[in-house]
C-alpha cells in the first residue's frame, strides 16, 4: 500500500528496512494513525526514520509521494504577495550563490525583476519555470533548484492550514549525507585497544582469591585487582589546508571518533609534509608552533604514530631542503619523516585519497616508500589494516 | 490506553503519535533531542498518565548490559559458605535481580526508562537486542528463563554521544524532540507557573530566544534552563520593564547564571556588551 513511500525513501538513501516497513503496516492495521493524514505522517516518520539527520530527506520524500492528498488550498491565499515580500528578509544565500547572482545582473536587478513578476502574477503557483511559486525552476519561490533563486519563506499563511507540516521541513539543518558514520570508524579503531591493569584495585581477582584462600588453610582471603583499561597512546598528526579541503568531512569524522575512543590521544597539525614544526591550533598556526624535535622528546617510542593526509604535493616538498610551499625549511621533509619513524616504532599513514588513484601521484608514491608501505586508505578496510599494522 | 500529555507536561502531536505507537505495538521508543527538552521527564509523565509504575535504569559509562538482567553475587556466597550459612545451598539466593528482570516480572506492566543509553560502551545496545525484542532472557546459574508477564513500555533516551547500531534502531520507534516554538513554549510555561505575569513571560521569552540566537554559544539555553530562570525572576521580583530595557550596557540579561552555563558564553556576552557600548559611544 505504501510501497511507493518505502522505495522512494530507499532511493533517497534514507536507511529503511523491511522490518521497519512491516512495523508501520502493523501500526496502521492497529489504527494508531486514526485515518488522519497528519497522524500518518508522524507515525511513518517515527517508524522509518531513526536519525534526526534523515528527517529532512524524509519530509521531502513524503511531500513528493503524497502530493495532492491533502485538501486544496483556500483560494484566499492567492492574495498574499505582500506577505511574501516581507519574508524576503529570510534570504539564505551562500557566498557562492551570491557570486552567481551577479550572473543575472546583480542583486538590485533581481529584486526589481521580482517586484515586476509579483505584480504580473495573480495567483499561487506550483511548478513551471517563470512564476513565483513552489517547486519550480524560476529564480523566485520556494524549494526550487535555480541557484540564482530567491527563497520566499512559506512557513505560515494567515490560515495556518494552507501549509502542510512536511512542507515546513523544520529539520533542514541536520541533513548531511555521511555514508560512513563515526560508529563504524570507532569499531575499526577498537583494534588498537591495549588493555592493562592500572589504578586502584576495585575488582575481585577470582583466581588469586582461590589460590590465597587455599594457602590460608581454607579461610577466605579475598584478593582485589585493578580494572582493565585501554592504555594505548596515540599521536595523531593531521594534514590541513590546500588539497585536504576536499576531505574535511571524512577528517572530522575520523577526528571525532578518535577523540572519544582513546584516553591518551594527542593531535597536531602539519601542512603537506612533516618539517621542523607542527602546531596545535590552526587559527594561530603562524605564531604558536611546536618544534618537531620537541614531539620526539615529549612522547616516548610506545606512542603509536598516525599520520593523516593526502600526501599530494610537489615531490620537491619531500626531498629538497627549502621545498616547502609555506616557509624555508633547512632540512628536507623526508629527513624529518625518517626521524619521526625512527623514534616511533609503530606508525602508519591514513590517506583519504581513494587507493585506485594512488599510482598517479609521484609524491604519494614517495611517501608510501618512506612509510615502508604502511600507507592505507581512509576507508573502513584501510583503517582496519592500519590498526593491525600498528599492533604489529 | 492512550497518552495525551498531562497537566504538567505539554506533548506535541507528533510526540503523542510516537508514544502511542510504541505503547500499542509494544516496541521500545527511542527519544533524542537537545539536553533539557524533557526526554527523561517524558517517561515519568507517561508512567503518571497511564498510572503505571516507573522503573528507571540510569546508564553510565561503566554499565554493562548484563547488569540490567541480573548479577551473581559470588563473593557473599563464598563468605556464607565459610560461615556455614544454610542459604548457601540454594544458588538463587545469590542472584541479584536487575532492572529488566524487575520490569519483566512486575505485577502491572511498568514503564521502563533506560536513560542515556549512549553513555555506555558502544556494544551495550547490541547486547540488549534479544532481551528487548522477545522480552525474555536466560539465567545460566539457575537454568531458568525469565519471560515478561506483562510487556513493559520501554523508553530509551539518548544524547547523541555515540551512534547507535542499526539493528538496535530497527527495533525501535524514534522521536526527535525539537526545540519548542514560541507558542509551545508559552504553553509549557503556563503549565509550570500558572500564576506568573503574562508581560514578564513575554519579555522573558524575547530575551530567551534572543540569547539562543547569539551565534557561537557553546551551550544554547534550553527549556529546563528557561523554567529555572523564570523561577528566579519571580522570586527576585524582577519587573518586565527591567527585561525590556534595551540599554546596551545591560546586554547581559539579569540572573544570567541560570541561562548561560559556562564561562566562555558569559565572556562572549560581555564582549558583545562591550562592542555595543563602543558603537554607541562613537
For chain B, say whether A115 makes contact (Cβ under 8 Å): no
Q: Do A47 and B173 touch (CB under 8 A)?
A: yes
Give the residue from B177, B203, B238 where a domain finishes.
B177
Query: Do both B162 and B208 map to the same domain?
Result: no
Query: Do both B93 and B149 map to the same domain?
Result: yes
Compare all CA atoms of chain A with the CA of B81 and give the residue at the minimum distance: A220
pLDDT per position as a tens digit, A382-392: 888 888 888 77
Which chain B residues are within 8 Å of A30, Cβ to Cβ? 24-25
Band of pLDDT at residue A85, cut at 50, 70 and 90: very low
pLDDT at B156: 93
Q: Is the pLDDT of residue B261 over 50?
A: yes
pTM of the model: 0.57
Alpha-carbon distance A253 to nearest alpha carbon in chain B (angstroms): 12
pLDDT at A145: 39
Compare all CA atoms of chain B with the CA of A52 and give the residue at the minimum distance: B176
Is B7 within the bounds of a domain? no
Band of pLDDT at residue A98, cut at 50, 70 and 90: low
Is B5 within the bounds of a domain? no
Q: Do B13 and A38 touch (CB under 8 A)?
A: yes
**Pick from A30, A187, A209: CB nearest B24:** A30
For chain B, say whether A55 makes contact (Cβ under 8 Å): yes
Query: Do both B30 and B141 map to the same domain?
Result: yes
Q: Is the pLDDT of residue B276 over 60?
A: yes
Q: Do B171 and A206 touch (CB under 8 A)?
A: no
For chain A, say whether B72 makes contact (Cβ under 8 Å): no
Please give the ipTM for the structure prediction: 0.71
**Pick from A26, A38, A171: CB nearest B25:** A26
Query: What distance in Å separates the CA atoms of residue A166 and residue B1, rounded to the nearest whole number?
Result: 28
Q: Do B176 and A39 touch (CB under 8 A)?
A: no
pLDDT at B1: 67
- Specify the range with the lowest mean pLDDT, choosing from A200-204, A318-322, B155-159: A200-204
Query: Do both B139 and B73 map to the same domain?
Result: yes
Is B8 within the bounds of a domain? no
Query: Do both B164 and B99 map to the same domain?
Result: yes
User: What is the residue range of B225's domain?
Assistant: 182-281
A270 vs B2, which has greater pLDDT?
A: A270
**Pick from B25, B164, B166: CB nearest A15:** B166
pLDDT per position as a tens digit, A355-383: 888 888 888 888 888 888 889 888 777 88
pLDDT at A151: 41
> Of B95, B108, B77, B87, whose CA–CA distance to B137 is shortest?
B95
pLDDT per position as a tens digit, A336-351: 888 888 888 888 998 8
Query: Do both B137 and B236 map to the same domain?
Result: no
**Pick from B21, B27, B162: CB nearest A43:** B21
Count of structural domains within chain B: 2
Q: Is the pLDDT of residue A45 over 80?
A: yes
Give the residue from B142, B161, B177 where a domain finishes.
B177
For chain B, say whether A155 makes contact (Cβ under 8 Å): no
CATH number where B61 lies: 3.40.50.300
Query: Do both B166 and B223 map to the same domain?
Result: no
For chain A, say whether B26 makes contact (Cβ under 8 Å): no
Average pLDDT over residues B180-190: 84
Average pLDDT over residues B64-76: 88
Q: Do B170 and A33 touch (CB under 8 A)?
A: no
Q: Is the pLDDT of residue A140 over 60?
A: no
Query: Do both B222 and B122 map to the same domain?
Result: no
Alpha-carbon distance A370 to nearest alpha carbon in chain B (angstroms): 36
Give the number of A-B residue pairs with CB atoms closer than 8 Å. Answer: 78
Alpha-carbon distance A217 to nearest alpha carbon in chain B (angstroms): 12
Query: Do both B34 and B142 map to the same domain?
Result: yes
pLDDT per position as a tens digit, A152-163: 444 333 333 334
pLDDT at B115: 92
Alpha-carbon distance B112 to nearest alpha carbon in chain A (angstroms): 19
Compare all CA atoms of chain B with the CA of A219 and give the residue at the minimum distance: B82
Give the residue from B177, B211, B241 where a domain finishes.
B177
Amino acid at each position: 500500500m505504501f510501497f511507493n513511500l518505502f522505495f522512494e525513501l530507499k532511493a533517497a538513501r534514507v536507511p529503511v528496512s523491511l522490518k521497519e516497513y512491516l512495523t508501520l503496516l502493523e501500526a496502521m492495521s492497529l489504527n494508531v494513525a486514526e485515518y488522519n493524514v497528519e497522524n500518518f505522517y508522524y507515525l511513518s516518520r517515527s517508524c522509518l526514520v531513526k536519525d534526526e539527520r534523515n528527517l529532512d530527506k524524509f519530509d521531502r520524500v513524503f511531500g513528493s509521494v503524497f502530493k495532492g492528498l491533502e485538501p486544496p488550498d483556500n483560494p484566499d491565499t492567492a492574495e498574499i504577495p505582500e506577505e511574501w515580500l516581507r519574508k524576503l528578509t529570510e534570504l539564505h544565500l551562500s557566498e557562492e550563490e551570491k557570486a552567481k547572482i551577479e550572473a543575472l545582473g546583480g542583486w538590485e536587478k533581481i529584486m526589481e525583476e521580482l517586484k515586476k513578476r509579483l505584480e504580473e502574477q495573480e495567483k499561487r503557483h506550483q511548478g513551471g519555470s517563470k512564476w513565483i511559486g513552489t517547486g519550480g525552476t524560476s529564480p523566485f519561490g520556494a524549494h526550487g533548484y535555480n541557484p540564482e533563486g530567491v527563497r520566499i519563506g512559506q512557513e505560515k499563511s494567515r490560515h495556518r492550514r494552507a501549509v502542510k507540516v512536511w512542507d515546513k521541513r523544520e529539520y533542514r539543518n541536520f541533513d548531511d549525507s555521511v555514508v560512513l558514520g563515526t560508529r563504524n570508524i570507532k569499531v575499526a579503531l577498537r583494534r588498537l585497544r591495549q588493555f592493562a591493569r592500572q589504578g586502584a584495585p576495585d575488582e575481585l581477582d577470582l583466581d588469586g582469591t582461590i589460590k590465597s584462600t587455599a594457602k590460608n588453610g581454607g579461610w577466605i582471603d579475598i584478593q582485589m585487582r585493578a580494572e582493565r583499561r585501554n592504555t594505548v597512546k596515540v599521536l595523531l598528526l593531521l594534514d590541513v589546508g590546500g588539497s585536504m579541503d576536499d576531505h574535511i568531512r571524512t577528517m572530522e569524522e575520523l577526528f571525532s571518533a578518535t577523540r572519544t575512543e582513546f584516553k591518551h590521544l594527542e593531535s597536531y597539525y602539519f601542512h603537506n609534509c612533516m618539517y621542523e614544526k607542527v602546531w596545535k591550533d590552526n587559527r594561530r598556526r603562524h605564531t604558536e608552533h611546536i618544534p618537531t624535535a620537541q614531539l620526539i622528546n615529549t612522547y616516548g617510542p610506545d606512542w603509536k604514530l598516525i599520520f593523516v593526509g593526502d600526501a599530494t604535493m610537489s615531490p620537491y616538498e619531500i626531498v629538497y631542503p627549502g621545498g616547502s610551499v609555506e616557509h624555508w625549511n633547512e632540512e628536507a621533509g623526508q629527513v624529518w619523516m625518517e626521524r619521526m619513524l625512527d623514534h616511533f616504532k609503530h606508525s602508519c599513514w591514513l590517506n583519504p585519497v581513494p587507493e585506485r588513484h594512488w599510482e598517479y601521484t609521484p609524491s604519494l608514491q614517495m611517501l608510501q616508500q618512506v612509510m615502508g608501505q604502511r600507507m592505507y586508505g581512509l576507508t573502513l578496510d584501510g583503517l582496519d589494516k592500519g590498526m593491525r599494522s600498528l599492533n604489529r | 490506553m492512550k497518552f495525551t500529555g498531562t497537566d504538567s507536561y505539554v506533548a506535541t502531536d507528533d510526540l503523542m503519535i510516537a508514544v502511542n505507537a510504541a505503547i500499542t505495538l509494544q516496541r521500545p521508543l527511542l527519544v533524542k533531542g537537545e539536553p533539557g527538552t524533557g526526554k527523561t521527564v517524558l517517561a515519568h509523565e507517561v508512567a503518571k498518565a497511564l498510572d503505571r509504575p516507573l522503573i528507571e535504569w540510569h546508564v553510565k559509562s561503566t554499565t554493562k548490559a548484563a547488569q540490567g538482567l541480573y548479577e551473581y553475587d559470588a563473593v557473599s556466597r563464598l563468605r556464607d559458605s565459610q560461615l556455614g550459612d544454610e542459604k548457601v545451598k540454594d544458588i538463587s539466593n545469590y542472584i541479584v535481580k536487575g532492572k529488566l528482570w524487575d520490569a519483566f516480572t512486575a505485577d502491572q506492566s511498568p514503564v521502563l526508562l533506560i536513560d542515556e543509553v549512549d553513555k555506555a560502551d558502544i556494544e551495550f545496545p547490541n547486547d540488549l537486542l534479544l532481551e528487548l525484542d522477545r522480552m525474555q532472557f536466560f539465567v545460566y546459574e539457575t537454568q531458568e528463563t525469565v519471560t515478561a508477564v506483562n510487556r513493559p513500555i520501554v523508553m530509551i533516551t539518548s544524547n547523541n554521544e555515540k551512534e547507535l547500531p542499526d539493528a538496535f534502531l530497527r527495533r525501535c520507534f524514534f522521536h526527535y524532540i525539537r526545540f519548542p516554538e514560541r507558542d509551545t513554549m508559552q504553553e509549557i510555561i503556563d503549565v509550570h507557573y500558572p500564576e506568573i505575569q503574562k508581560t514578564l513571560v513575554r519579555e522573558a521569552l524575547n530575551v530567551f530566544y534572543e540569547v539562543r540566537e547569539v551565534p557561537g554559544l557553546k551551550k544554547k539555553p534550553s527549556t529546563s534552563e528557561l523554567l529555572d530562570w523564570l523561577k528566579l525572576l519571580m522570586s527576585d521580583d524582577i519587573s518586565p520593564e527591567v527585561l525590556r530595557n534595551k540599554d546596551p550596557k545591560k546586554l547581559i540579561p539579569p540572573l544570567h547564571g541560570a541561562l548561560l552555563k559556562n564561562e566562555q558564553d558569559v565572556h562572549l556576552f560581555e564582549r558583545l556588551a562591550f562592542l555595543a557600548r563602543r558603537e554607541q559611544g562613537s
